[in-house]
Chain A
Amino acid sequence: MDWLNVIVQGTLLGGLYALFAAGLSLIFGVMRLVNISHGDLIVLAAYLGLTVTSATGLHPLLALVLVVPTMGVIGYVLQRGLLNQTLGDDLLPPLLVTFGLSVIIQNGLLEVYTADPQKMDAGTLETASLAVGGLNLGVLPLLTFAVAIVVIWGLQWTFYHTALGRAFRAVSDNQDIAQLMGLNRRHIFGVAMALALGVTAIAGVLLGIRTSFDPSIGGGRLIFGFEAVIIGGLGNLWGTLAGGVILGVAQTVGAKVDPGWQILSGHLAFLFILAIRPNGLFPRISA
């Protein structure tokens, strides 16, 4: 029963990691951009949530109504103002520019919010739990997992059943021909980044309710999201959810053996899967 509990908790934790990863996966799918500052943007969203809740007294989940559009606007502006200039055949510019961005965001947050760990207060939601078949499941982790499923289903639906999704797939397949067909790829990329950061906003606020956070944790969140993407297989959103679950379970199992091994065992699981299945478990496109 103990181990079953560990695995269930790990699975639910995987929902959060899948949310970290979904934005990363989306922008890679549309424009082959790997955003090194993704983790710092998650932390930025958590701080925006904190500012909104402390300024208005709203519940953190209601604060999403403000944080998601704000992050979306930031994403669109960032893409059109900066990141579109880095796209091309050369690998270095996007990598180094997003790396620079990561340092800027991290130190900007330090300047504004200091290095003190912060946490959002979600009232009874934090401690509420349900007894299911002898297991005590936290309502917040369950909610996070459900949100992850809804978000990934929503992205999948957008991708394959809407005009916007068709535009995403078109620029992803061939930018020049898509441009000839009347799509403005700069705008499409901007929208994709807005959508990705909207998802990031949800991930950031859920992170901020679940644990305390400070400006330095962005790199770690980027790595978790990245591991979930690679484990699941590039370009496959449901695979990303599976990757998040595998990473989450590996971490909780590791923590059960020795608390110091939590994060390390997640990394080792990732390296193990990289060794036996270099393209991830459910690959759809090759990098």
Chain B
Amino acid sequence: MTLQDYHVTRSSNAARTAAILGALILIALVAAPWWAGRADMRLMGEIFLYLALASLWNLMAGYAGLVSVGQQAFVGFGGYMLFALTMFAGLHPIAAIGLAGVFGALVSVPVAVLIFRLRGAYFAIGTWVIAEVFRLGFAQISSLGGGSGSSLPVAIVKSLASKRAMRESLSYWLALGAAVTVITAVYLFLRSRKGLALTAIRDNELAARSLGIDIWRTKFTVYVVTSALTAMIGALIFLQKLRISPDAAFSVNDWTAFVIFIVVIGGIGTIEGPIVGTLVFFALRETLADLGTIYLIVLGVVAIVIMLKAPKGIWGLIRARFDLQLFPLGYRVMVPGKTDKS
């Protein structure tokens, strides 16, 4: 057995199986308008949008160490951009969603320069202040309905597709597309050179800095990209809701608390975590939602227990037990004669 017999690989049987299964599931999901009912499609659309938000928050908090409790700033901003651009600039809703991303990126630059001065937990509350500034600011714009909000005019809704069934399918596909795009983007980003830098920062900031990684710039890039994508998801969310108000658009519970719980429960700092977390979150919601506030208390307790007893979340437990990695990011050394145990 010589050194040449060893080889280093990224993939594994589990990852290949997961890729094939994932592709099959994706095909089935794309075909959902032909097999699922309207209510199911609405629910699945919502699941995809939360999955996208959770994956983005996970990229920021789990990899870049930017724990934000103010992502509702960009969700709401994107939603308002959709309304403003379609109502006042006469853009097609899909063009408006794209442009909401561009504006989201532009707005996030001065925001990042300002709040990156705050460290750790103070950064978190700083992001919340920004979200409040956005909320109170949009409440002052009377052409967008001020504090009480406004509805998307029927003509704009019809411009998406004239038939209701077609509109529903389209908005379902947009949500599915958003989730797939975000997860693919996060995956490819983490496999890239910048992603490697980011993983190094996650593991040890000091060591990463001493290797010449520009920490500020890497975090800044992540923040801007995440903000842009979050704004696009926000636009999609309010394209489904058709109605926007400052309190709904910048709700810390809806767009940040739930998202944080999803990521913590699923497993922070892994790509698989938000996927597992989203499924668990919606399973809990569909069974316990009738309990109202009790449901939220349960969610809070579950998140605290997981953070203390299993900080890597459900996926962390699974990975520790079975050595699984469905999205191959790490490398493993293959010893000749031994089969790939995963």
Do A and B make up one complex? yes
List residues of chain A with CB under 8 Å of any chain B CB.
33-34, 36, 82, 85-86, 90-97, 99-101, 103-104, 107-108, 110-111, 219-220, 222-223, 226-227, 230, 260-261, 263-264, 267-268, 270-271, 274-275, 278, 287
Chain B residue with Cβ nearest A33: B121
Chain B residue with Cβ nearest A227: B129
The answer on a CB contact under 8 Å between A267 and B118 is: no
Chain A residue with Cβ nearest B140: A260
**Nearest Cβ on chain A to B321's Cβ, whole angstroms:** 22
The answer on a CB contact under 8 Å between B125 and A226 is: yes
B133's contact among A86, A101, A271, by CB below 8 Å, is which? Answer: A271
Knowing A108-B297, A264-B137, A271-B129 are in contact, say whether A91-B121 is a contact too (CB < 8 A). Answer: yes
Contact of B303 with A by CB under 8 A: yes
Additional A-B contact list (12), CB under 8 Å, known A86-B308, A219-B128: A34-B120, A36-B121, A86-B307, A93-B311, A96-B260, A100-B261, A101-B304, A104-B296, A107-B294, A107-B296, A274-B114, A287-B120
Contact of B6 with A by CB under 8 A: no
Query: SS class of chain B's interface: helix, strand, loop or mixed?
Result: helix
Chain A residue with Cβ nearest B116: A278
A104's contact among B121, B125, B139, B297, by CB below 8 Å, is which? Answer: B297
**Nearest Cβ on chain A to B316's Cβ, whole angstroms:** 13
Contact of B272 with A by CB under 8 A: no
**Nearest Cβ on chain B to A84's Cβ, whole angstroms:** 11
**Nearest Cβ on chain A to B147's Cβ, whole angstroms:** 8
A96's contact among B137, B301, B303, by CB below 8 Å, is which? Answer: B303
Chain B residues closer than 8 Å to A219, beta-carbon distance? 128, 252
Knowing A99-B69, A223-B125, A227-B129 are in contact, say whether A263-B304 is a contact too (CB < 8 A). Answer: no
Give the distance in Å from the alpha carbon of A260 to the alpha carbon of B142 in the complex. 12
Query: SS class of chain A's interface: helix, strand, loop or mixed?
Result: helix
- How many residues on B have C-beta within 8 angstroms of the other chain's C-beta atoms? 42
Chain A residue with Cβ nearest B146: A260
Indicate the member of B124, B125, B268, B296 with the most A CB atoms within 10 Å: B125
Give the distance in Å from the alpha carbon of A99 to the alpha carbon of B261 in the complex. 10
Can you identify 24 A-B contacts, CB atoms within 8 angstroms?
A34-B124, A36-B125, A86-B308, A90-B311, A92-B67, A92-B311, A93-B307, A93-B308, A93-B311, A95-B67, A96-B260, A97-B304, A103-B257, A103-B296, A108-B293, A110-B293, A223-B129, A264-B133, A264-B137, A270-B129, A271-B133, A274-B114, A274-B115, A287-B119
Chain A residues closer than 8 Å to B117, beta-carbon distance? 274, 278
Chain A residues closer than 8 Å to B303, beta-carbon distance? 96, 100
The answer on a CB contact under 8 Å between A107 and B297 is: yes
Chain B residues closer than 8 Å to A108, beta-carbon distance? 293, 297
**Nearest Cβ on chain A to B298's Cβ, whole angstroms:** 9
Contact of B33 with A by CB under 8 A: no
Chain B residue with Cβ nearest A85: B308
Chain B residues closer than 8 Å to A100, beta-carbon distance? 261, 300-301, 303-304, 307
A230's contact among B118, B120, B293, B294, by CB below 8 Å, is which? Answer: B118
Chain B residues closer than 8 Å to A275, beta-carbon distance? 114
Chain B residues closer than 8 Å to A111, beta-carbon distance? 293-294, 297
Chain B residues closer than 8 Å to A91, beta-carbon distance? 65, 67, 120-121
